Amino acid sequence: MDRENPATEESLEPVETDDADDVEAALALADEVYPSWSERRLEERRQLLADAADVLRENEEEYAQLMTREMGKPITGARSEVEKCAWVCEHYAEYAETYLADDVHQSSPEAKALTSYEPLGPILAVMPWNYPLWQVFRFAAPNLVAGNVGLLKHASNVPGTAEIIEEVFLEAGFPEGAFQSLIVGSDAIEGVIEDERVRGVTLTGSEPAGRAVAETAGRELKPSVLELGGSDPFVVLDDADVETAAEVGVQARTLNSGQSCIAAKRFIVHDAVYDEFVDAFVEEMEALTVGDPSEEDTDVGPQAREDLMKDVHEQVQDTLDAGATLETGGEPLDGEGYYYPPTVVTDIPRDATMATDEVFGPAAAVFRVESEEEAIGLANDSSYGLGGSVWTEDLDRGERVARRVESGCVFVNELTKSDPRIPFGGVKNSGYGRELSEHGMKEFLNEKTIWVQSASDQ
């Protein structure tokens, strides 16, 4: 696979792709390793996962720099991503025994009824480039410790990261075949899902890709989990701490150079604080440092590919052509690299592109509303439902509004984020199923009911 550094437009050394024979060998190995891996004592699997956390920390700088070269992630964010992957490994190493414990149910006096949580087999993960380490580890950690084995089809612009993820598990002591990366294009995925040795599939990516994977998985009667992006609302009510909301809002929009499915994308601001918020928000956006992602003080790096930068610019221009107002940014930066500046657009028609589509870059759409009720209505006026954020000094009010936002998660006075301790996923066109926490761990387990009746009571 060809690779390119998006900060410099320089070609990186290509990574050799796997052919059909390589894929078959990987599937055969996964099928061969699964029985012995699933039968290993849970304590052994937990220890190996804790060892994987150690490997990640020992090689943090190497892995961070690789992500920065392959997809342009600012180096400080890349280091944080490696640490977060170590955290998810440690979390499941610590809590797997609790999460996998049998559930005991009511039954007749002469019997015992329980649910046992048992692995299914090889699980395929189709993962994106924007968080190339974290997206994979939040799948791999719970599934491996539960006894499944993993197969990864990573995005085609981060094949080097795909390779080092497999190396992390091997270095930690996992058996060969417990986790494998398939360096293949998207055209190979349908056949892998259809293979009888693969027992489930999870995808994080675009809506069209999710629909294609879901169709194949459904036809094969295999469980699937889909996380398909979002257009998250960031609701600022009339009693919000405006200064803090603006400061955190900038971070929520530009984290990972704006390339995040749970980034704040639609800023819905009450009229009473609208002008104050916009002024503070624009000032904070303009203060960000855009530049070389390998530099420590860079806030916003390049977009991961040239076509992605062009997509963001087209969305901004379409919205301006529809009558919106440009407050700052709005033009790709001159010079090498695929840089798009922090951008703020206001006065947006409700049917304009930035109001209806997901904008996967550092461009914010700001809307003025007259009431709490209108804010909730606009927040829910989207085909997506991944995350959301509500800002108010009244915590009871914040929780009440959060309950009415149609999404998989809502944070009050905080930016939306994923966390190993809480379930993550969306509704509507943002997909279905959950990752992380106990809920995510059980998506690819057989929830087996066992009824034990006393023989003397037959």
Instruction: Give just the sign of the alpha carbon dihedral 150, 154, 159, 160.
Output: negative
For the chain, helix, strand, coil in percent to 5 are 45, 20, 35
Q: How many CB atoms lie under 10 A from the CB of residue 43?
A: 11
The CB density around residue 167, as the number of other CB atoms within 10 Å, is 14
Q: Which residues of 174-192 are buried (b: 16+ CB within 10 A; e: fewer)?
A: beebbbbbbbbeeebbbeb
Distance CA(392)–CA(212), nearest Å, equals 40
Q: Which amino acid type is present at position 218?
A: G
Q: What is the DSSP annotation of 131-172?
A: STTHHHHHHHHHHHHHT-EEEEE--TT-HHHHHHHHHHHHHH
* Strand 445-453 to 111-119 pairing: antiparallel
Where in the sequence numbering do the catalytic residues fall? 227, 261
Q: Which two tokens stand for residue 383?
A: 């085909």
Tell me how far apart the alpha carbons of residues 52 and 56 are, in angstroms, rounded to a whole number.
Answer: 6
